[in-house]
């Protein structure tokens, strides 16, 4: 069984995340969405709220399992039996950052393969960080967030 993890903070989940996840589903038998707590980012939503939001967005997809986790992502991959880690790439700087992480992860867990999926051009400017800023200033984020997630914001 091919199992993958798509890790992230998903604070909040965006249409760009959804696009990467939907494009990944057909590649795997089981796809975990790992909701991690990124200590370097100032969070907006609780981990529990992010899990609920993702479950609402993917409620009709039986291959997807939403799980919160702490610690090293490669260790979480091992604990759930994931042989693959999915990462979305929007920009060249994303690639450089993700490449460095993938190389370190490979050193820690050579049996877990990182797979990069490039975002569609229309989603390359959407990030959770920008969406959080818009929300903090009472702006309308409906064009950036899946409709199922709006109730959680």
Q: Following DSSP, what letter does each residue of 52-73 receive, concatenated?
A: HHHHHHTTT-TTEEEEEE-S-H
Q: How sure is the predictor about 39, in pLDDT bands with cuts at 50, 70 and 90?
A: low
Cβ neighbours, 10 Å, residue 123: 19
| Cβ contact 42:77 at 8 Å | no
In the chain, the domains with their CATH numbers are 3-152 (3.40.50.620)
pLDDT of 71-110, one tens digit each? 999 999 999 999 999 999 998 888 999 999 999 999 999 9
Q: Model pTM greater than 0.85? A: yes
- Residue 72: what pLDDT? 94
Rounded CA gap, 63 and 92, in Å?
30
Rg (CA), the chain: 15
| Cβ contact 108:78 at 8 Å | no
Rounded CA gap, 77 and 110, in Å?
12
Q: Catalytic amino acids?
A: 17, 41, 90, 128
When mean pLDDT is compared across 7-11, 32-36, 40-44, 65-69, the lowest value belongs to 40-44
Length of the chain equals: 153
């Amino acid at each position: 069984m091919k199992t993958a993890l798509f890790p992230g903070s998903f604070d909040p989940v965006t249409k760009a995340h959804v696009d990467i996840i939907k494009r990944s589903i057909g590649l795997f038998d089981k796809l975990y969405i790992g909701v991690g707590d990124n200590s370097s980012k100032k969070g907006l939503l609780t981990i529990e709220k992010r899990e609920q939001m993702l479950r609402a967005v993917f409620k009709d997809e039986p291959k997807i399992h939403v799980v919160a986790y702490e610690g090293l992502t490669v260790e979480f991959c091992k604990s759930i039996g994931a042989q693959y880690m999915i990462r979305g790439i929007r920009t060249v700087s994303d690639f450089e950052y993700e490449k460095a992480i993938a190389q370190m992860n490979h050193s820690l867990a050579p049996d877990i393969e990182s797979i990069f999926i490039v975002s569609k051009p229309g989603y390359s400017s959407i990030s959770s960080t920008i969406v959080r800023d818009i929300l903090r200033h009472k702006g309308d984020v409906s064009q950036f967030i899946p409709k199922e997630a709006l109730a959680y914001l």
